[in-house]
Amino acid sequence: MANQKKNFLEVLKKHKPDHIPFWFMRQAGRYLPEYMELRKQAGGFLDMAYNPDIASEITMQPIRRFGMDAAIIFSDILVIPHALGQHLEFVQGKGPKLNPLRGSSDFSVLNFSKFQQILSPVHEAISLTKTSLKKEGFESTALIGFCGAPWTVACYMVEGGGSRDFINVKKLAFQDEKAFSELIEILVESSAQYLIDQINAGVEAVQIFDSWAGALDAQSFHKWVVNPTRQIVNLVRSQHPDIPIIGFPRCAGQNYLSYVQNTGVSAISIDQNIDTKWAANSLQSFVPVQGNLDPICLLTGGDSMVMAVEKIIGDLKDGGFIFNIGHGIHKQTPVEHVEKLCALIREYS
Ligand code: CP3
């Protein structure tokens, strides 16, 4: 069936959908046995992300099982520092490890000379996925591209990996604002280019993941989250004026409102700490809202999941709404709980 309605895009364009559209952050990944099987054969995480056939196959896996309204291209937010020349590896069971960049003099490793070339497998994976979606009968499934937001990517670049307290990156931001601005500017420019290239390759919406937005005070949030995000939105829109852009400043609390009012994003993804009643009253009048089941509630399943889903849908269904979870699917999540969640959302639609 050609020209089937893509409900996910309808909501982002502020039209009324036929049903509640849904997709889940990290819907591809380790909770799926078929992903684990492929990973055994394929080697490391980056090898998979930079192999267009494998990346496309992994993107398709959850769609075949659950038929979400959107697929998200399988990649990672850390491909940007990698493509800019920073050393990156994913250590099994430990997460990403980068050579930390602690100040201006360290930034000289970063350059644009091979940026688009290194990321070209992602663009190829996008066009392969578009073909597969069509060929396998998922005409109404949209394809999402993404990048990390400058603040969150800078956290990994400066810390050299994950962090609990972000001491090094905050030290840099607070003590040497000039140097930190330099890094953020490089990330604004590269992220915008990366999103534009993904849109040219065929994605129909993009999401900006700011996973550590909640680590900043209100003033710093404005400086390092809101301003760079607005710049990316403007750069992307200068090439693609109508592309839906979803922002996800995770754990930003009250700052969600200023983010929505000041960045120009088309929709907002909320984490599970946000009360859906508040989101309905304060955010949904500006933009459609995406969210926000606690991923651990999905892992647990049972009656508590049913009740949480009912509340989220009850509070948000009368405005622009895309069902999602508040953060990525946890690797220990039973596949049957994801099946049950999809059935519940369809039942309430
Ligand atoms: O949502 C999807 O299905 C698309 C793919 C996707 C991945 N990472 C694949 C991945 C997306 C959108 C991301 C975004 C991402 N990556 C974020 C932002 C969202 C968030 O979760 O906060 C961040 C902070 C990262 C950085 C990152 N990548 C970390 C900290 C880790 C290790 C932690 C972990 O979960 O293992 C990764 C690795 C990673 N990225 C995996 C996947 C499926 C696990 C790789 C594996 O071991 O197989």
The answer, yes or no, to whether any atom of ligand 1 lies below 6 A from the CB of 162, is: yes
Any domain includes 70: yes
Predicted confidence at residue 92, as pLDDT, reads 84
Q: Which two tokens stand for residue 61?
A: 């896996």
Ligand 1 centroid–CA 76 distance in Å is 6
Any domain includes 113: yes
Any domain includes 1: no
The answer, yes or no, to whether any atom of ligand 1 lies below 6 A from the CB of 328, is: yes
Packing angle between helix 52-66 and helix 335-348, nearest 10 degrees?
Answer: 60
Any domain includes 266: yes
Any domain includes 65: yes
Mean pLDDT by groups of 10 residues along the chain of 349 residues: 79 97 97 96 92 98 98 98 98 92 96 97 98 98 98 98 97 98 98 98 98 98 98 98 98 98 98 98 98 98 98 98 98 98 96
Any domain includes 2: no
- Which residue segment(s) compose the domain that 239 sits in? 7-348
Q: How far apart are CA 77 and CA 149, in angstroms?
A: 8
Ligand 1 centroid–CA 82 distance in Å is 15
Any domain includes 141: yes
The answer, yes or no, to whether any atom of ligand 1 lies below 6 A from the CB of 59, is: no
Ligand 1 centroid–CA 19 distance in Å is 29
CATH code, 127: 3.20.20.210
Please state the domain count of the chain: 1
> Which residues are catalytic, by number?
26, 30, 39, 76, 156
Q: What are the tens digits of pLDDT across the range 2-44?
A: 457 899 999 999 999 999 999 999 999 999 999 999 999 998 9
The answer, yes or no, to whether any atom of ligand 1 lies below 6 A from the CB of 27, is: yes
Best CA proximity match to 127, nearest among 47, 197, 44: 197
